[in-house]
Each structure stands twice: as C-alpha cells, then as structure tokens.
Amino acid sequence: MTWWRDAAIYQVYLRSFADGSGDGIGDIAGLESRLGYLRDLGVDALWINPWYASPMADGGYDVADYRQIDPAFGTLQDAERLIGAAHQFGLKIIVDLVPNHTSDRHAWFREAVEAGPGSPARDRYHFRDEPNNWQSRFGGPAWSQVDDGQWYLHLFDSSQPDLNWDHPEVRAEFLSILRFWLDRGVDGFRIDVAARLVKQAGLPDKHEAEEAVPSFIDPPDQPDKDRPEVHEIYRDWRLVLGEYGSDRVFVGEIWVSDPERFALYLRPDELHTAFNFEFLKCAWEAGAFRAVIDRTLATHARVAAPPTWVLSNHDVTRHVTRYGRTETAFAKRVHDVPSDLALGTRRARAAALLSMALPGGVYVYQGDELGLPEVFDLPAALREDPVFYRTEGLDLGRDGCRVPLPWGGECPPFEFGKGGAWLRQPEEWRDLTAARQLGDADSMLSLYRLALRIRKSEPALGDGRMRWLESEAGVLAFARDPGFVCVVNLTDRAVGLPEGTALLASAELEDPGTGEARLPPDAAVWLRTASEVTA
C-alpha cells in the first residue's frame, strides 16, 4: 500500500502560516521553523499553496515564473532546504501546480502582448478579436482587452490569462515544470483548476447567463469545463511521474459533481486522488452525509482510487462558521447570515472525527486544527482577494479564511512573526492560539492531535472498507474492521451507543462508565468494539 492512499495531508497557505522574515507575510523560513508542530500534529504530508514568483494578484495563483520562488517567500535554495527538512521530519511535500493560466507578467504573456495580433506568441493563450459571453469565476466578464484591441480569455482575474492547452509548447512546458520539481524531491502535485484546462473548440457562447456571485455548484456541460480531451494531459503527466517511481502523487482540484465524470480523472493512468468537495459542501444532516459518503465510496470504487475527506480550504468559508448557521450546506460564500460559533465548533469537532474515520485520505486546512472561524470584519482597504473587487463586494471573497494563524501570546499578531500580520487577527483569537490550546486537553488542537495519532496506529482506519450499522434517524454509525466503530449524532438529543469502549469523543459522553453511556447532540465518538465485525 502506498502512503497517499490514506494520508493525512495538511494544507499550508504559506502567506498566512508563519512569518520568519518579519515582514508580516508567511514564508518558507516560517514554515521550516514550525515543522515540529506539524510532525507533532500527526500529519503525513504538507500541500503548500503556490510559492512561485508572482505579482500576488491572486495570492500566488498568478504565476510569473514556475521555476522561481517568490522573494516574499524565500529563494529556490530555501525551498530545496525545506523539502529536505520536511523529509527529515517524516513529512512529504506536495506543491501546487497552476496550469490553467499564468500571470500577465509571465514572459510568455508579455511576449504575446508585444508581438501583436496574429503572432505565434499569442497562440499560447486565447486571443480573439471579439469576446464571447463567458463570465469570470471571480465575477465580471472573462475577457479583457490589450492595447491593440484584441481580447484575451481569463476564467479568473484579468491578471490570469488562460493558456491554450491545444498548443504543443504549452504541453511541453508543463512536462518540463513537473520534472523541475520532481528533480528537487517533491512528493506530489496539487493541480489547480484541473477540470478546466481544455476549452471547447471555437470557444462557443454559453447558454445560461451566469450569476453575479459564482456558485460552487456548476451547471454541467459547459464549454470551459470537463472537456474529454483534458484526460490526455493527465495521462501524459502520469507517465512523467512514473519515471520517478511509484510513490509520487497527483491530487486534482476537480469541481465536477457528476460522480461518473469525476471518476474519469482518477483512472489508474491519470490522477491518484482528488478533493472531495461534495463532502465539504454537505449540510450538517445525517441523511445528506450518508448519501455523500455512499456516493463517494461508489465513485472511487469504480476506479479503485482512495477517497479523500475535506472540510475546508483557502477558497471556502471556514466550516466552524458554516456549521453554526441555519443553512449548513455550502453553495456559495455569504457573509450576511448569523452563525452560532459555539455550535459550529462543536459540530466541527464531530466532523473532524467523522472525516478521520472514513476510508481513504483526509485533509486539514491550516487553522482547522485550531477551530478558527471565518473573519468577516476586515477593512476593505486590506482585502486582497480579486473576488471582492470583481464582485464589487457582493462576495467578500476569501481573505476571511486566510487570516494568519495565531501561534501564541495575548495580542495580534499572536507570534505569527515579528513584524505584524498582513491581515490583523481578531483579538478573541487569544483564546485560540496554538500555545493556549496545547495546554488544554479539551481544545480543538488536542482533539486533532489525539485523533490523528489514533488514526495512524489504528489498523482499522485509513484505507479500506466501512460498513453502516443500524442506527436511529439522524445518527451516523459505521464499523471498520477490526473492532472499530464511529458514531456521529446529528440529532438534538443524546443517543445510546453500541457496545464498546470509547477511544475518543468530540464531547463529553453522558453517563460514562455506566455501560449505558450516551452521545450528546452534535458529537462523535470512536469506539473499540470487542468483537470482530464481519463485513
């Protein structure tokens, strides 16, 4: 079995993780100084958001040079040292590859602009004399004009021109970039916007008008998404990865809800895994979870790929906040609805145990382990996300889930670094610092550390199978062999438990030690069961 089939992968949003240089922006030195924390947390690998040379118009997802590290983060030597140091700590490194678009400062785009209409340099992007009706994923039109009047396509910000993946030079360049990082010892790649690289020939208009605030629920059959030809690209990439042994991995960012189409990306000669966004979007509701889990397992079984379980990332509202709302399903970012954060935190604790008990791999977005909520009241002038500007504030964007981590101390920047933090953390985060939580056995951090430790040592957990147990409505209960049961109570009253000894619970059980222990609402428990459960 290979490590990635059941890895616990921690997402490092580098700008906001830890600042070693004192400029208020997280960097490689800061990450290196906290590797011990990550090892002790118990994760197996780190996925690092883009660290390449970039004007940072989209937090680094606008890459100007795929073979250089942005000076704000460090140098290429720092990156190489970090990869080595992480390996020393037993942590694998997954880097973020952004193939759908470059920055408008990338040498190719500059060349294209200078070379003028009809030039071969323009063929590496999508230049046209007239735009079509596509909208940017960040709001507003997906086309912008250069000075000579031609339009170029950008599915995201105008500073992120889309590459033309029908162009052989584009394909060759990315094979070379893969090799560049594989030669430096990375263990894998997270592939940004993996379903959108190829566009329908001729870039035809869309039928439906898109909304002002793009949703995470996409209509199917769009000319800019999930085209069958995209699979050729991943087959080529897989061959390159294969030259480096069988231990390196691709994880795709694939927002494709249709299970059959999603599974195609995970065929044995394409990507290894993909983020499970259906799980992330799922409402706090037992029936909905059960359906998503069943669908996930069936989808992945089709292609023998391991599922992943994802609760949050750098693009969505933090789940502590989502789970504290009346509407807990996630379709698009909203900011004007109240959230009961105590309830959200309670549910987030239970969700952590659920996600770590399911078969496959699990993702932890930095700050999940601290129970951080979304931050809404950021000064407009400090906001950086192009989504905020392109939707004219209708969508506040993603800065609120990217606020720098609170490490310790009593006031901002909470030991993020010596020079403040590019977004100021709320004062209340003094109660959520890593240092504070380490000293509290009941904290979110203590729960994550213990759960990840048990998950690693428990033969029943990780890759493999699960079986639903009979349970009352509103309760999820499943068994994993040998001798492990997870129960999650999504009702509003305490419920009885199957026989077994509690290994870990997200909240205090009622009547513990009586043989009649009960699981309170919005809580989960892991049980050791004496008998082998037959599948």
Backbone angles phi, psi at 144, to 5 degrees: -130, 160
Smallest distance from ligand GLC to CB 109, Å:
15
Task: Rank residues 197 and 350 by Cβ distance to ligand GLC and give the closer one.
Answer: 197
Specify burial of residue 473 (Cβ count, 10 A radius: 0-12, 13-18, 19+).
Answer: exposed
Smallest distance from ligand GLC to CB 373, Å:
20
Helix, strand, or coil (residue 371)? coil
Task: Rank residues 58 and 374 by Cβ distance to ligand GLC and give the closer one.
Answer: 58
For residue 498, give the nearest of 506, 457, 348, 483 by alpha carbon: 483
Smallest distance from ligand GLC to CB 158, Å:
13
Question: Do 161 and 104 form a contact (C-beta atoms < 8 A)?
Answer: yes
Indicate which residue of 166, 221, 243, 294 is catalytic: 243
Instruction: For the beta carbon of residue 526, count every other beta carbon within 10 angstroms.
Output: 27
Strands 273-274 and 249-252: parallel
Q: Which of 19, 27, 58, 374 lies at the binding interface for ligand GLC (CB under 6 A)?
A: 58
Residue nearest to ligand GLC (CB): 61
Q: Does 98 sit near ligand GLC (CB under 6 A)?
A: yes
Strands of the sheet with 308-309, listed across from one edge: 273-274, 249-252, 188-191, 92-97, 45-48, 8-12, 361-365, 308-309
**Binding string to ligand GLC for residues 487 to 526, with x set by CB under 6 A, is what?**
----------------------------------------
For residue 463, give the nearest of 447, 487, 481 by alpha carbon: 481
Task: Rank residues 61 and 309 by Cβ distance to ligand GLC and give the closer one.
Answer: 61
Task: Rank residues 43 and 401 by Cβ distance to ligand GLC and give the closer one.
Answer: 401
Question: Do 483 and 529 form a contact (C-beta atoms < 8 A)?
Answer: yes
Smallest distance from ligand GLC to CB 255, Å:
8
Residues from 172 through 231 that contact ligand GLC (CB under 6 A): 192-193
Residues 6 or more apart from 231 whose CB is under 8 A from it? 264, 265, 267, 270
Smallest distance from ligand GLC to CB 443, Å:
28
Q: Which of 4, 66, 73, 156 lies at the binding interface for ligand GLC (CB under 6 A)?
A: 156
In angstroms, the CA 95 to CA 293 distance is 28
Residues from 33 through 52 that contact ligand GLC (CB under 6 A): none
Residues from 323 through 362 that contact ligand GLC (CB under 6 A): none
253 is known as an active-site residue: no
Task: Rank residues 50 and 412 by Cβ distance to ligand GLC and give the closer one.
Answer: 50
Smallest distance from ligand GLC to CB 100, Å:
7
Total residues contacting ligand GLC (rule CB under 6 A)? 9
Alpha helices in 220-328 (DSSP H): 230-242, 259-264, 277-281, 286-303, 319-323
**479, β-bridge pairs:** 467, 485
Strands 361-365 and 8-12: parallel
Task: Rank residues 165 and 526 by Cβ distance to ligand GLC and give the closer one.
Answer: 165
Q: Spell 91-101 as b/e; 16+ CB within 10 A means b.
A: bbbbbbbbbbb
Task: Rank residues 58 and 187 by Cβ distance to ligand GLC and give the closer one.
Answer: 58
Smallest distance from ligand GLC to CB 38, Å:
21
Indicate which residue of 6, 192, 210, 270 is catalytic: 192
Smallest distance from ligand GLC to CB 192, Å:
5
In angstroms, the CA 510 to CA 524 distance is 13
Residues from 415 through 474 that contact ligand GLC (CB under 6 A): none
Task: Rank residues 48 and 527 by Cβ distance to ligand GLC and give the closer one.
Answer: 48
Smallest distance from ligand GLC to CB 54, Å:
11
369 is known as an active-site residue: no
In angstroms, the CA 165 to CA 211 distance is 27
Secondary-structure percent of the chain, ordered helix, strand, coil, rounded to 5: 30, 15, 55
In angstroms, the CA 263 to CA 259 distance is 6
Task: Rank residues 193 and 350 by Cβ distance to ligand GLC and give the closer one.
Answer: 193
Residues 6 or more apart from 285 whose CB is under 8 A from it? 328, 490
Residues in contact with ligand GLC by CB under 6 A are: 58, 61, 98, 156, 192-193, 253, 314-315
Catalytic residues: 192, 243
